[in-house]
Homo-oligomer: A and B are copies of this chain.
């Protein structure tokens, strides 16, 4: 299992399908794009429901945050996340460490059925315990493309189909992450209150459990502590406000429940490795 994450597997690469691809034949699967490499330590991809591809990402390093279909998912090394075609989604990294990703964007005939299967079963992420086979297949496709770009639609399609079968197998082993009621209640309370001066003690009081017990259960199902989770939600919201509005940093701090401007500044800098104002000007320089 360890060997698959060997850095040699992940030298930066980006594949774009050739313009002329598309032979009019049925049943052929194509990748519009695929790639691997590190993303910056702060980045956010946000897409509307018009994104037409069935897309799979694997984290080979770092941890990330993924929103789709009204749910948030924390991701760790080895996990996969699946973008079902036609669903608005966001994925981002606010951890301060760069995020290693390998991914493929597929144009599949009948993909509504495929996306529908993942949506209906609420499978938007796959646990690292089950992703070895599809990840290895994707790495081998990328390696083969790097070594000698394959342009034969039939041969490529066989490789993509094999990847999809490995992915479906992983999905059938990795059921939807279902949370116990306590965790669902905690997530819902955080969702409603992370823009206010939310304290962990109030959260555990509200749920009638001890802070220690809440932290243990929450971490088991969500992958991190409630405190860290609230920080991620706040950082993400602050980043989106820095990117999309001209609100002052002070005002943005208030929007995530931090009424002391220097508190917000310290919090953001610690998390992201740079001050809010610097983050804003950096992102303005390189619009995506």
Q: Which residues of A are interface residues toward B (Cβ below 8 A)?
A: 23, 25-28, 109-110, 113-114, 116-117, 154-155, 157-158, 161-162, 164-166, 168-169, 172
Contacts and interface: CB of A to CB of B under 8 A. Distances in A.
A164 B25 CA distance: 11
A27 to B, nearest CB: 6
In the assembly, how many copies of this chain are there?
2
Nearest to A171: B25
A155 B25 CA distance: 24
Contacts of A113: 26-27, 109-110
A125 to B, nearest CB: 18
A155 B26 CA distance: 22
A76 to B, nearest CB: 25
Contacts of A155: 165
A221 B155 CA distance: 32
Contact of A161 (B25, B117, B158, B166): B158
A117 B23 CA distance: 12
A43 to B, nearest CB: 31
Given A158-B161, A161-B158, A161-B161, A26 B114 contact: yes
Contacts of A28: 165, 168
Contacts of A114: 26-27
A154 B155 CA distance: 18
Contacts of A161: 158, 161-162
A81 to B, nearest CB: 19
A111 to B, nearest CB: 9
A155 B169 CA distance: 10
Contact of A158 (B23, B27, B116, B162): B162
Contacts of A27: 110, 113-114, 117, 164-165, 168
Contacts of A162: 158, 161
Contacts of A158: 158, 161-162, 165
A25 B110 contact: no
A26 B154 contact: no
B25 A117 contact: yes
A55 to B, nearest CB: 16
Contacts of A168: 25-28, 154
